């Protein structure tokens, strides 16, 4: 345990295993975006080579703002990027404080689409990978609709799709102009009651886009030309035949549309019943415009009436064509792992917290709840989950827990999770809240949190800061906790280790004929080599690629559908 004192009012204790390249006490990332005095949300977006963008949404008075930073896996800011990050919204009086509308195009430019109030409408612009701004110093006006929701998805050749008010889709280029061939008014998607609605976009993998509208709910697929994809119903694919509740569907979900392999997608929505509690529905459909074979026409019911489900329903791809659905059941985080065939792996409402754990739901400005759960998929197909807790003295702190694909605790990790940071309130008062957790690609995780320092007279508004760290689970350290070997998959220690460029071998044992992959990864999570294995029993796996990689730390990862293991290896010369 290490104790680091920053000021007379704040002490952070790091008991989790910080990555060797990161400061043990965490790293200061930025102040609240664009000089605002509070952060609402923080999210991370992966780039090739393990680098990533971090975007933060800030709040101050009646205005909002967005800030962007680019980091390397070791915590260093990408050369050329300002230490304070790049502003994405200080030029607007007010920007809708949502997490939708962020995307990365095929040249790694980071796009931001958002609703604005003066004049009302939806706009977009981008930041280049070297931190240079788009040609315009303000959002290009994409549509003049009233203040409503927006989302964005990458197209091809550096352009993006933007949807506004859930009902109007446009494709714009890097000059802010409508793509040639598109109708001047865009493509319209009417809904049953004619009112604006939430919507989500997802690239279709062929230069087009999948468009999900939550009121009905309906999904459409459009080609790059702006035409409905061949074979799709003219009115879109309706995802449920259960319209008994007045067609009033609530789509206020975080990532309500995700991929399911190369040819399918998942969509989720919350469905009001006659009483106030709502239920969660999930549907799987193909990119050909049909519901997935074997799935119920009404959608798969994840949570039924009588369960207090709020807007914080979160979908996370599992990497094997399935999906995790996470939500708050009566204020407590739970989840289910749905496979591609509609079956559930493990419990239908598995608790994400250890038994008896203290939990407080993360909030942002004005104590409003964060509208998503703090979780991400790990390379082995499980989850890393983080939460705020309060100890007996009401001191806030963060814990991180690794879960297996069936949402049971990872047996290599502490059952109550790693304690990452702890803030103690001093005489000036400090608010302290988890903002996000994000997989690092090799089994560890990045964790970001906000520190809100109380105002010092004569100031009346406090100062917010965003901090983050990268942590490793026991399985990636030299002394993992003793644990029984998985009955489905077992990976031996690699040999020789360390290696001086020799061929590295390991034995993989499979309990059945299910397929598995064994991969060589660098510290950023990039796959350098992979082997496909099938058949029960032992398999000898070798990697000659270690002879050509730079000196450093690497990982060998074996993964199947329901289990995975990771081993470290050091390359020397």
Q: Residue 468: which of 55, 60, 111, 48 has the closest Cα?
A: 55
Architecture of domain 34-373: 7 Propeller (2.130)
Residues of the chain with CATH 2.130.10.10: 34-373
Residues of the chain with CATH 2.60.40.1930: 489-571
* pLDDT at residue 32, rounded to an integer: 58
Which tokens in the block code for residue 537? 């029993």
* pLDDT at residue 400, rounded to an integer: 92
Cα–Cα distance measured from residue 174 to residue 73, given in angstroms and rounded to the nearest whole number: 29
* pLDDT at residue 203, rounded to an integer: 92
Residues in the chain, overall count? 573
Cα–Cα distance measured from residue 333 to residue 328, given in angstroms and rounded to the nearest whole number: 4
Cα–Cα distance measured from residue 360 to residue 391, given in angstroms and rounded to the nearest whole number: 11
* pLDDT at residue 482, rounded to an integer: 36
- Successive 10-residue mean pLDDT values, the chain, 573 residues: 29 50 75 58 85 80 72 90 77 50 87 70 83 76 62 83 79 86 82 61 91 82 93 92 56 74 90 61 95 94 66 84 89 91 91 88 69 87 88 72 91 82 50 85 86 57 75 64 50 86 88 79 80 86 90 82 74 82
Architecture of domain 489-571: Sandwich (2.60)
DSSP per residue over 505-569, as a string? EEEEEESSS--EEEEEEETT--EEEEEEE-SSEEEEEEE-GGGSSPSEEEEEEEE-SS-EEEEEE
* pLDDT at residue 353, rounded to an integer: 94
Contact 74, 22 (CB under 8 A): yes
* pLDDT at residue 504, rounded to an integer: 92
DSSP per residue over 388-438, as a string? EEE-TT--EEEEEEEE-TTSSBPTTS-TT-EEEEE----TT-EEEEEEEEE
Which tokens in the block code for residue 102? 């962020």
* pLDDT at residue 204, rounded to an integer: 92
CA angle 301, 306, 312 (to 5 degrees): 65
Q: Residue 145: which of 206, 195, 183 has the closest Cα?
A: 195
Whole-prediction pTM: 0.80
Contact 167, 190 (CB under 8 A): yes
* pLDDT at residue 48, rounded to an integer: 81
* pLDDT at residue 290, rounded to an integer: 97
């Amino acid at each position: 345990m290490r104790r680091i004192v920053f000021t007379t009012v704040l002490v952070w204790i790091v008991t989790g295993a910080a990555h060797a390249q990161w400061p043990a006490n965490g790293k200061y990332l930025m102040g609240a975006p664009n000089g605002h005095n509070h952060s609402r949300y923080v999210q991370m977006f992966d780039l090739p080579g393990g680098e990533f963008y971090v975007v933060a949404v800030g709040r101050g008075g009646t205005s909002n703002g967005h800030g962007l930073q680019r980091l390397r896996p070791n915590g260093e800011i990408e050369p050329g990027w300002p230490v304070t990050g790049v502003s994405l919204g200080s030029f607007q009086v007010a920007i809708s404080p949502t997490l939708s509308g962020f995307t990365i195009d095929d040249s790694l430019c980071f796009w931001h689409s958002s609703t604005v109030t003066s004049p009302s409408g939806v706009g977009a612009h981008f930041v280049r990978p070297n931190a240079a701004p788009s040609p315009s110093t303000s959002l290009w006006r994409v549509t003049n609709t009233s203040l409503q929701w927006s989302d964005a998805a990458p197209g091809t050749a550096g352009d993006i799709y933007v949807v506004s008010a859930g009902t109007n889709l446009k494709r714009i280029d890097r000059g802010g102009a409508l793509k040639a061939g598109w109708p001047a008014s865009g493509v319209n998607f009417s809904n049953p009651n004619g009112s604006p609605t939430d919507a989500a976009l997802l690239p279709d993998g062929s230069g087009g886009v999948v468009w999900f509208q939550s009121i009905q709910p309906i999904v459409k697929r459009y080609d790059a030309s702006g035409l409905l994809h061949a074979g799709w119903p003219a009115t879109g694919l309706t995802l449920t035949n259960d319209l008994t509740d007045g067609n009033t569907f609530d789509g206020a979900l975080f990532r309500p549309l995700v991929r399911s392999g190369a040819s399918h997608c998942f969509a989720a929505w919350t469905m009001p019943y006659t009483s106030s509690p709502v239920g969660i529905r999930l549907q799987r459909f193909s990119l050909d415009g049909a519901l997935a074979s074997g799935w119920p026409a009404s959608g798969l019911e994840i949570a039924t009436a009588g369960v207090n489900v709020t807007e914080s329903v979160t979908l996370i791809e599992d990497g094997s064509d399935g999906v995790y659905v996470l939500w708050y059941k009566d204020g407590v985080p739970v989840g289910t792992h749905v496979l591609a065939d509609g079956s559930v792996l493990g419990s239908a409402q598995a608790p994400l917290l250890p038994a008896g754990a203290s939990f407080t739901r993360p909030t942002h400005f004005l104590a409003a709840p964060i509208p998503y759960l703090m979780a991400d998929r790990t390379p082995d197909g499980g989850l890393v989950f983080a939460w705020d807790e309060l100890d007996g003295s009401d001191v806030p702190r963060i814990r991180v827990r690794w879960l297996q694909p069936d949402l049971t605790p990872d047996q290599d990790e502490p059952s109550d999770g790693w304690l990452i940071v702890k803030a103690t309130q001093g005489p000036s008062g400090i608010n302290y809240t988890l903002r996000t957790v994000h997989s690092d690609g090799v089994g560890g995780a990045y964790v970001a949190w906000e520190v809100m320092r109380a105002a010092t007279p004569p100031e009346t508004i406090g100062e917010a800061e965003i901090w983050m760290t990268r942590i490793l689970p026991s399985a990636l350290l030299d002394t993992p906790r003793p644990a029984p070997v998985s009955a489905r998959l077992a990976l031996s220690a690699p040999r020789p280790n360390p290696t001086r460029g020799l061929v590295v071998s390991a034995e993989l044992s499979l309990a059945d004929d299910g397929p598995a992959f064994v991969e060589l990864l660098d510290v950023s999570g990039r796959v350098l080599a992979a082997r496909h294995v099938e058949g029960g029993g032992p398999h000898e796996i070798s990697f000659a690629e270690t002879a050509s990689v730079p000196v450093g730390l690497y990982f060998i990862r074996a993964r199947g559908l329901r289990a995975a293991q990771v081993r470290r290896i050091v390359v020397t010369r």
